[in-house]
C-alpha cells in the first residue's frame, strides 16, 4: 500500500430555509494521512482534536470499519495522521467531514470502488441528513433530497458573494439543537416554509442576492426554534446588516452564524464583528469547489474521488 492523503472540506448546511437539503462546502479542511503500519496507530494534530488519540475510539476509523464491514471486508492496519481546521460542534459540518473521510478510508484500503452516489448514500445513512455530506463529497453549493428513499442531488452555480463566519467559543451538538425543533408542522406552515425555500433557490439561481438574503432570513423550518440557543443571534445579524450583508443565518445547527455579503464587503464586516465580539473566531471563508480529494503521497499523483 502506498501512503495517501484524504482531504475533506467543512460545510455549512441549511442556509436558512434549505433545512436538511442545502449545503455549501467551505475551504477549511480535515486531512487524514494514511501510511502502512504493522498495527493501528492514530495521531491527531489539531487544536480541535485531542492529541492522545486512541485508535480503537477514533470516529473516522470506526466509520471506516463499519463501511468495510458492510462489504464483508476488514481494514488492513495503518497509521493515520489526522489534522483538522474544522471546529467541532459549531455548525461547520465536522461530523460529515469525518464520516466522508472514514468512508473514503475504507474505499481506498479495501478497494471497494464505491461510486460518488454510494458514498453519499452511506454518508447519509450515518449522518441522518445529506446536506453536509453532499458538499463535503462534491464541493460547491449542493441541493439534496433524501425524501424518496434514496438521495438525489444537484449542484447549483457558484455563489458570487463574500462569506463571513462568526464562531463562538461554546459548542452546540447537532443532536441537541435538533431536539429544539417541532416534530410536526401544519399544512399551512409547511406550505409557507416551502414557499420561502423555493424563492430562495430561484433567487440564488438568478443571482438575485438581495432577494436570496431576504428569504434566508425568513426561514420557518428551524431558525425560529433555534434562535434562543445561539449566542448574539440578533446582534450578529445587525452588525452584518450594517456592513451591507444580504443575509445572516445559523450555520447548520449552530451555534456559528454565517453572513453572505456583496463581493468586497467581507473584510469590513469581519473587522466589525471582531471588534464587537472579541471572544469569537471570525473567519472570512471561501467556497471549496472540489470536495473530497485523495492524493497519493509518494508520487504526488493526484486524483479526485469522482
Ligand X SMILES: N[C@@H](CCOP(=O)(O)O)C(=O)O
Q: Which residue positions form the known binding site for ATP?
A: 87-97
Residue span binding ligand X (CB under 6 A) among the ranges 27-35, 53-61, 87-95, 160-168 = 87-95
d(CA 250, CA 129): 17
Q: Shortest Cβ distance from residue 110 to ligand X (Å)?
A: 27
The DSSP annotation for 72-113 comes to: T--PPPEEEEEEE-S-TTSSS-HHHHHHHHHHHHHHHHTT--
Could you say which of ligand ADP, ligand X, none residue 273 binds, taking C-beta under 5 to 8 angstroms by partner kind?
Answer: none
Residue span binding ligand X (CB under 6 A) among the ranges 42-50, 77-85, 126-134, 236-244 = 126-134
Among 75, 81, 88, 199, binds ligand ADP (CB under 6 A): 88
Cell 439561481 sits at which residue?
205
Residue span binding ligand ADP (CB under 6 A) among the ranges 92-100, 135-143, 183-191, 237-245 = 92-100
Q: Shortest Cβ distance from residue 86 to ligand ADP (Å)?
A: 7
Q: Is 252 in the site for ligand ADP (CB under 6 A)?
A: yes
Q: Which helix (H) or strand (E) holds 156?
A: strand 152-156
In terms of CB distance, is 40 or 59 closer to ligand X? Answer: 59
Residue span binding ligand ADP (CB under 6 A) among the ranges 33-41, 81-89, 229-237, 278-286 = 81-89
What is the grid cell recorded at 43? 495521531
Binding-site residues: 87-97
In terms of CB distance, is 78 or 101 closer to ligand X? Answer: 101
d(CA 119, CA 210): 35
Q: Is 100 in the site for ligand X (CB under 6 A)?
A: no
d(CA 85, CA 229): 24
For residue 158, what is the DSSP state? P
Cβ atoms of residues 79 and 35 within 8 Å: yes
Q: Is 67 in the site for ligand ADP (CB under 6 A)?
A: no
In terms of CB distance, is 86 or 196 closer to ligand ADP? Answer: 86
Q: Shortest Cβ distance from residue 254 to ligand ADP (Å)?
A: 8
Angle between helices 116-127 and 59-70 (to 10 degrees): 120
**Planar angle of CA 122, 127, 131, nearest 5 degrees:** 95
Q: Shortest Cβ distance from residue 288 to ligand X (Å)?
A: 15
- CA 125 to each of CA 2, 7, 182, 277, 291: distance values in angstroms, whole numbers, following the listed order: 30, 21, 22, 37, 19
Positions touching ligand ADP (CB under 6 A) are 30, 49, 59-60, 82, 84, 88-96, 98, 173-174, 252
Amino acid at each position: 500500500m502506498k501512503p495517501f492523503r484524504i482531504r475533506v472540506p467543512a460545510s455549512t448546511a441549511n442556509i436558512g430555509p434549505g433545512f436538511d437539503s442545502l449545503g455549501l462546502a467551505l475551504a477549511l479542511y480535515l486531512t487524514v494521512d494514511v501510511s502502512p503500519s504493522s498495527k493501528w496507530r492514530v495521531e491527531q494534530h489539531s487544536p480541535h482534536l485531542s492529541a492522545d488519540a486512541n485508535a480503537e475510539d477514533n470516529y473516522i476509523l470506526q466509520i471506516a470499519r463499519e463501511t468495510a464491514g458492510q462489504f464483508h471486508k476488514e481494514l488492513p492496519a495503518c497509521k493515520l495522521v489526522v489534522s483538522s481546521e474544522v471546529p467541532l460542534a459549531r455548525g461547520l459540518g465536522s461530523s460529515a467531514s469525518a464520516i466522508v473521510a472514514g468512508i473514503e478510508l475504507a474505499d481506498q484500503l479495501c478497494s471497494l470502488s464505491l461510486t460518488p452516489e454510494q458514498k453519499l448514500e452511506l454518508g447519509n445513512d450515518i449522518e441522518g441528513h445529506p446536506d453536509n455530506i453532499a458538499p463535503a463529497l462534491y464541493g460547491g453549493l449542493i441541493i439534496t433530497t433524501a425524501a424518496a428513499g434514496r438521495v438525489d442531488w444537484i449542484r447549483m452555480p457558484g455563489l458570487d458573494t463574500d462569506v463571513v463566519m462568526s464562531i463562538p467559543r461554546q459548542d452546540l451538538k447537532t443532536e441537541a439543537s435538533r431536539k429544539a425543533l417541532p416534530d410536526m408542522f401544519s399544512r399551512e406552515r409547511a406550505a409557507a416554509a416551502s414557499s420561502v425555500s423555493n424563492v430562495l433557490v430561484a433567487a440564488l439561481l438568478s443571482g438575485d442576492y438581495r432577494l436570496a438574503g431576504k428569504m434566508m432570513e425568513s426561514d420557518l423550518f428551524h431558525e425560529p426554534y433555534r434562535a434562543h440557543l445561539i449566542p448574539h443571534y440578533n446582534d450578529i445579524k445587525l452588525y452584518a446588516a450594517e456592513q451591507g450583508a444580504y443575509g445572516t443565518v445559523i450555520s447548520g445547527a449552530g451555534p456559528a452564524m454565517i453572513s453572505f455579503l456583496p463581493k468586497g464587503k467581507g473584510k469590513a464586516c469581519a473587522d466589525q464583528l471582531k471588534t464587537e465580539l472579541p471572544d469569537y473566531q471570525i473567519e472570512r471563508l471561501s467556497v471549496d469547489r472540489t470536495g473530497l480529494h485523495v492524493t497519493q503521497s509518494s508520487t504526488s499523483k493526484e486524483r479526485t474521488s469522482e
